[in-house]
Chains A and B, each alone.
Chain A
């Protein structure tokens, strides 16, 4: 069974940092792109960042570029999101998602999200 489990969320003050983790199981992690998608109440779903299967970043949303850093460790079946200079606009539920294409570098395969974790809540507030 494919599983994606997020962790690392919490309450943090504006300007501080947080590191999210996503641990995968039930599939060959090396073969798939993995992404972060966040859900902000009243604003719906927003793709944040992704990491392709072969070690390159898919990119970052403009709203987080320069502040967030994505990385992955295939030996640990894990994806990470280092979030710096957090603001209240970063508050939301952060989901780890799998891109459906096996060993694909096509953007549309990397961003068809066929499995989602349950999410980890990030709250930025003083």
Chain B
């Protein structure tokens, strides 16, 4: 199965700063890479799909890029509500798998 490795494990930034989260796949996933946001006490929420497409209702400060094995989620100007764990997911190969998550803390 495809292993997704996310970095860093934890990120601590201030409101207004830019966050960059990485996801690396053990083999190519082409563009079938999605990102989910999980706020404390809540279920995960689809954030981005097919590498760079924002899901419904996702603010424009969220963007994503990449291809093949290396992907990035960027939050351009952090808001307090962005404090969450972010997971990447691949859907090119069975079984679908998730990264271990990056915890984003807003100071």
B-contacting residues of A (Cβ < 8 Å)?
Answer: 43-47, 59, 61-62, 95, 100, 107-108, 111-119
Contacts and interface: CB of A to CB of B under 8 A. Distances in A.
Interface residues of B, number: 21
Interface in B71-107: 87, 89, 91-92, 94-101
A84 B98 CA distance: 25
Contacts, number: 50
Contact of B45 (A43, A47, A100, A116): A116
A44 B97 CA distance: 10
A59 B101 CA distance: 24
Nearest to B4: A44
B101 A108 contact: no
Given A112-B46, A117-B43, A118-B43, A61 B91 contact: no
B98 A46 contact: yes
A109 to B, nearest CB: 8
A108 B32 contact: yes
Contacts of A118: 43
B91 A108 contact: yes
A11 B10 CA distance: 32
A44 B95 contact: no
